[in-house]
Amino acid sequence: MPNSTKMNIRTEIVLKEMMNDIVDNKESKGTDMRVSGHMFICRLVLLVGLLLVPCGAWAGDDFATGELLVKFKSGYEGKGAKAIEKIGAKVLEKLSRLDVSRLGLPGNLDVKKAMARLNKLPFVEFAEPNYIFKPTWNPSDPKWNDQWGITKIETPGGWGMETGDRSVIIAIVDTGVDLDHPDLKNKIVAGYDFVGMDSDPDDVGGHGTHCAGIAAASTNNGIGVAGVCANCSIMPLRVLGAQGGLASDVAKGIVWAADHGADVISLSLGGMFPSSTQRDSIEYAWNKGAIVIAAAGNMGVQDAHYPAYHSTCVAVGSTESNDARSGFSNYGSWVDVAAPGGFIMSTIPDGQYGYKSGTSMSTPFVAGLAGLLFSKMGSGASNSAVRSAIENNCDSIGGSWVSRGRVNVARALASVKAPAPPSSPPAKAPKTGSGSGGGSPAKSSDGGYSPKSFAMDAGSTLKSPAHSLVKSDDSALVMRSTQSGKKRHMDLEVTTKASTKGGVESIQVLLEGRFFMQGAGVTAYLWNWKGLKWDWIGREKMTTEDKTVMFRRENAAAYVSGDGEIKVSFRIDSDWFSTFDFGADKVRFYVKTGNKKGSGGGGSGSGGSDDLGKKVADTWKKLLK
């Protein structure tokens, strides 16, 4: 491979469309075309290939840092070994059948410099980065093959980089959403009905449900369809009735979404007249950090359509499967981007699925992409950065009817970087939050010290009853991992206060809990009060069933403060590229001291014995067998 060449995986998707007996049902103002499932058949043929793309950029996300792959010409293995030694590298493994060595580079030598140095040697056949190839996948949703739009914009390739985060919220400001739809109900967060003025934004016409499914239907769940932002949450806001809705209600919906944490606001609605109230609501949402995506309209004219025409909105036009402009789509230089909008399969009320057409359908495709970008870029993402990634990475589709082109999910996601995960807990112990209460050292019924407080240092808390870590009652502290690109993780810090009379000899920490999705690992650290740093004490695997793991540190005096405080930090992580949840049922500290009578803590025993003592609960005894 030439030095200037970078290998990427891309998925070529060829769409072969066979349409029989399709009713010529032209769309009127504010009405979506709908074609029954048996009238439209779309077959996808997927061609997966490796493309060699010349690239001068050196993005850290594309290859493993600190590694090289090198091959020496036949007969020069000895010189090759000396060359490796000279640059301070080590052979991590040999791909013997290929005569390729995987090298680990010293910390002061970056990949590009090492590669350039080795490729200058006459006996080196090639030296190249150890590129990272990311998975693309087709979900198990049975109607996947009917979803030409989601594949046209290269969503499967994008899922290899990001599938979305549940903490990212896409607001569907529309006719409401079917709250009981099997492909949506597990994704929905609290919303509101501004027409009925209550907290039940159930769909009244099906339009909002269809849009919600395009943006973020549950994906790879063996049911129905897939949504672009597979793991994002949906906020249902009803602002439209059967005959439309008031500008004031739309504005209230936009403001409510911004005030209640929506990252993306999807507006598959509009009209020919500008509303200052709507404009102000959109600017309000933008200033709160949300991005607003709006439909360009379905009259097939160049005239402005509002609210999409407002500069703060991303205006979305519609394309067909051949990337031509849909006949009904409005057009002009004011239309920022395009997305599929003709005969789009998605969710409809009563747990059903069907086709609709319109720029209303194009809009949630872009909203879903915005959700993926917010998810990948993490908490530091800005709406301006998300908009730039969408608009600057479109595919050209010819003509001047749309300003930027048709959106491309894979290209947009590849253009942004995920925040780098911390390699270890922070250098200083973070402040702890309120936990199970303070006061004097309190022992639980099993003899161990219960937590005094806990705090999340990375990730989010979904459910946190204060007593959940104190007793094992299946009332778990439920946490969700933070998004960080290659590896998702959460950090939980737990503090206790123990009696330390007689001097601390050892500390043992017990964690009981389980993963709710993909099993992963837990690494434990104790805070070193003398060195002011976190010290590693062990790593254990967890499962999707309740499991108890134990970590132990001998010579533990440095891990107890002068007033008996002990801190443990759990790094819970997974190599899975989706977010995951973890429920912690119980945490216990067992402190062994030199007090012959036993100073408490369940782990003291007598005279420095390794026996934890009779006071330890049966569950703890079983762990030690």
> Which residues lie below 8 Å from residue 287, measured CB to CB, with a gap of 6+?
none
- C-beta of residue 568 within 8 angstroms of C-beta of residue 583: no
Q: What SS3 string covers 152-173?
A: HCCHHHHHCCCCCCCCCEEEEE
C-alpha 250 chain-centroid distance: 29
Amino acid identity, residue 23?
A: V
Q: How far apart are CA 194 and CA 516, in angstroms?
A: 35
What are the structure tokens assigned to 199, written together?
């907290």
- C-beta of residue 603 within 8 angstroms of C-beta of residue 592: yes
Q: How far apart are CA 423 and CA 431, in angstroms?
A: 20
434 as an active site residue: the answer is no
What are the structure tokens assigned to 286, written together?
């933008």
List the one residue out of 297, 263, 265 whose CA is nearest residue 278: 265
360 as an active site residue: the answer is yes
489 as an active site residue: the answer is no
Q: How far apart are CA 71 and CA 433, in angstroms?
A: 54
Residue 328 DSSP class: T
Cis peptide before 307, with omega less than 30 degrees from 0? yes
> Which residues lie below 8 Å from residue 453, measured CB to CB, with a gap of 6+?
432, 433, 434, 435, 436, 438, 494, 495
List the one residue out of 296, 289, 384 whose CA is nearest residue 334: 296
CA distances (Å), origin 534, targets 479, 506, 524, 531, 559: 22, 16, 9, 8, 10
Backbone angles phi, psi at 295, to 5 degrees: -75, 140
Amino acid identity, residue 186?
A: N
Amino acid identity, residue 160?
A: G
Which of 360, 375, 468, 569 is the catalytic position? Answer: 360
Q: How far apart are CA 318 and CA 471, in angstroms?
A: 56
Q: How far apart are CA 66 and CA 64, in angstroms?
A: 6
List the one residue out of 114, 113, 144, 115 whose CA is nearest residue 128: 115
Which of 141, 202, 207, 375 is the catalytic position? Answer: 207
List the one residue out of 361, 210, 220 whose CA is nearest residue 293: 361
Q: How far apart are CA 126 and CA 112, in angstroms?
A: 13
- C-beta of residue 220 within 8 angstroms of C-beta of residue 183: no
Q: How far apart are CA 622 and CA 474, in angstroms?
A: 19
Backbone angles phi, psi at 251, to 5 degrees: -60, -40
| Residue whose tokens read 């439920």 | 478
- Where helices occur in 274-397 by DSSP H, the ranges are 276-287, 359-377, 383-391
What are the structure tokens assigned to 66, written together?
């600190």
Q: How far apart are CA 361 and CA 368, in angstroms?
A: 11
Strand partners, 371: none
Which of 32, 141, 165, 174 is the catalytic position? Answer: 174
Count of CB atoms situated within 10 Å of the CB of 124: 19
The residues carrying an active-site annotation are: 174, 207, 360
